[in-house]
Amino acid sequence: MILCSNPSEQFKSYQSEIELAVSTVMRSKNYILGEQVSLLEEEFAKYIGTSSAIGVANGTDAIEIALRSLNIGYGDEVITVSHTAVATVAAIEASGAKAVLVDIDPNFYTLNPNQLEMVLTKRTKAVIAVHLYGNAVDLDSVLSFCKANKIFLIEDVSQAHGAKYKGKRLGSIGDIGCFSCYPTKNLGAIGDAGLVTTNNLDLANKVRMIREYGWHNRTSMFPGRNSRLDELQAAILRIKLKYLDSDNQKRRDTAKFYYDNLSLLPIEFPKISLNVESVFHLFVINVENQKKLIDYLKKEGVMAGIHYPLPVHLHPAYKDRVVISKDMSVTEGIVKKIVSLPIYPELSHSDTKLIVNAMKKFFK
């Protein structure tokens, strides 16, 4: 069976290095916020192109802590999309703020900047730009909106580690960048982990304090929480970070093979802006017969997925809790058509050809 994503295969790729790194941590007698976390923070900041990177427990915490570091909370509103992982909205709510959701662009499946003015109020404090599928939001438009209205831009880069917008790494362009390092991500731990990036040293210091009870010299200067990154995950991420660019190139090679061999079939692809260097966290197509295709591929030994089958604003938990723009037609329409084909660095060329041939047989 060909899985949609397969993090265990990446472990095998770097198994000897990972096992040595884990063994080193186990013998170090220092398991939380130690040398490995500090080195990862330094190396990741250099890679992204920011002055600071701060390790936290997971990507949801990264967004919540980012919001809190910007003094965003109860009575405030944060604009983002409904076509995202629930974690984005859960993090907004965890900060105490209210999520305001807009539609996505029909070509790129990322936040539609044209809807930002529609939902702007005096309570709006930030926009979270979710860089979906390894692609990037139209940051020029969003930045212009944020600057004009004196609100913050937070980048959710959980699906786009290493991607670039106009030559700059995502996570270095807004006020703060937030990364999940869940095992299936382009830079994935073997467990939960997250990172926050920023070029603002004051914000970086506040993020560090919030992640550990608001401490300064073990005195809580303001309410914080426990969101510490452990040494084991940091050590594993340091190994994988060395190979992130080459692994992302393998994803691009697979995506090109899909584009080249599926372009004549009756399917649509999300477009990639000329300003963007995508890292193809997911390879998502748009089809009219979603369920039939997924069932057929499963019979052929291919596990396709749907990212995401239900917009956040239609989840029972959030139906009456979030504000939505007047027009969510693109978001509500594409969830019935999108299919995620397998893509990860270790996906073999023979497996990719099998997937392509199965797609061709289905549409024959």
First-to-last C-alpha distance (Å) of the chain = 23
| Residues 207 and 349 occupy one common structural domain | no
Residue 349 belongs to some domain of the structure: yes
Residue 1 belongs to some domain of the structure: no
Tens of pLDDT, residues 57-103? 999 999 999 999 999 999 999 999 999 999 999 999 999 999 999 99
| Residues 177 and 98 occupy one common structural domain | yes
262: phi then psi, degrees, rounded to nearest 5 = -115, 0
Tens of pLDDT, residues 32-43? 999 999 999 999
Q: What is the 3-state secondary structure (H, E, C) of 159-180?
A: CCCCCEECCEECCCCCCEEEEE
pLDDT confidence bin for 220, thresholds 50/70/90: very high
The confidence score (pLDDT) of residue 15 equals 98
C-alpha separations of 343 from 109, 224, 249, 257, 267 in Å: 18, 38, 12, 11, 17
| Residue 359: both structure tokens together | 């797609």
| Residues 123 and 41 occupy one common structural domain | yes
Domain span at 330: 244-363
Question: What is the CATH number for 324?
Answer: 3.90.1150.10
Arithmetic mean of pLDDT, 201-228: 97
pLDDT confidence bin for 27, thresholds 50/70/90: very high
| Residues 86 and 186 occupy one common structural domain | yes
Tens of pLDDT, residues 99-154? 999 999 999 999 999 999 999 999 999 999 999 999 999 999 999 999 999 999 99
224, 242, 260 - which closes a domain: 242
**Rounded Cα distance, 199 and 89, in Å:** 24
| Residues 175 and 292 occupy one common structural domain | no
Query: Which among 150, 148, 126, 130 is positioned nearest to 139, based on CA atoms?
Result: 130
Give me the torsion for CA of 324, 329, 333, 334, rounded to 10°.
Answer: -80
| Residues 149 and 290 occupy one common structural domain | no
pLDDT confidence bin for 360, thresholds 50/70/90: very high
215, 242, 269 - which closes a domain: 242
Report whether pLDDT(258) > 90. yes
- What is the number of structural domains in the chain? 2
Q: Which of these ranges, 164-173, 266-275, 292-301, has the smallest mean pLDDT?
A: 266-275
Radius of gyration of the chain from Cα atoms? Answer: 20
Does the model's pTM come out above 0.85? Answer: yes
Report whether pLDDT(170) > 90. yes
The confidence score (pLDDT) of residue 249 equals 98
Report whether pLDDT(300) > 90. yes
Residue 2 belongs to some domain of the structure: no
**Rounded Cα distance, 168 and 49, in Å:** 8
| Residues 238 and 257 occupy one common structural domain | no
Residue 55 belongs to some domain of the structure: yes
Q: How many CA atoms lie within 13 A of 337 on its CB side?
A: 16
Say whether 247 sits in a helix, a strand or coil: helix
Report whether pLDDT(270) > 90. no
Q: Which of these ranges, 86-90, 108-112, 241-245, 268-272, has the smallest mean pLDDT?
A: 268-272
pLDDT confidence bin for 239, thresholds 50/70/90: very high
The confidence score (pLDDT) of residue 143 equals 98
The confidence score (pLDDT) of residue 345 equals 98
Burial 266-299 (b: 16+ CB within 10 A, else e): ebbebebbeebbbbbbbbbbbbeebeebbebbee
The confidence score (pLDDT) of residue 100 equals 98
